[in-house]
Amino acid sequence: MKDLPDRPPAELLICTTCRRGQEVAEDGTRPGAALYEALEGSMPEGVTLRAVECLQNCEGGCTVALRGAGRWTYVFGNLHEASDLEVLREGAAKYHASANGLIPWRERPQHFKKNCVARVPPMEG
């Protein structure tokens, strides 16, 4: 991917309270927290990883949001902490590379095409 110094930073928000429908012991690691830990330190340049509590998609598996200034925000669900790491890194890199957050349909990871929970327009200045 080309160097994109003119692109504003993007954030990948990970719901660390997601249980993905599982019973988790009070002191156990929730799937959302495991997803965050698995991605920590391995995000593409220009993308910051941020843990958040509850993105209100509790029945939809592990949930994340991609956002950035002047860009559309996307919320994706049904993610797995072991098998969807590369999908998230690839999607985050493509999101950061876009000028407005809109990744062309054909370029989106397959998981993003089928598991988009919401798309929110950028705030108007």
Annotated domain spans of the chain: 10-120
Whether domain 10-120 has CATH 3.40.30: yes
Query: Would you give per-residue pLDDT tens digits along the chain (125 residues)?
Result: 445 557 889 999 999 998 887 788 888 899 999 999 999 999 999 999 999 999 999 888 899 999 999 999 999 999 999 999 999 999 999 999 999 999 999 999 999 999 999 999 999 86
pLDDT at 1: 46
Give me the residue label for tokens 């843990």: 51
Give the span between the Cα atoms of 58 and 38, in whole angstroms: 20
Give me the residue label for tokens 């919401």: 118
* Helix, strand, coil distribution of the chain in percent, nearest 5: 25, 25, 50
Residue (of 14, 21, 58, 55) closest to 38 by Cα position: 14
**Which two tokens mark 91?**
């999607």
Give the span between the Cα atoms of 119 and 89, in whole angstroms: 19
Residue (of 83, 13, 12, 89) closest to 54 by Cα position: 13
Residue (of 123, 103, 121) closest to 113 by Cα position: 103
HSE-CB for 4 with a 13 A CA cutoff: 17
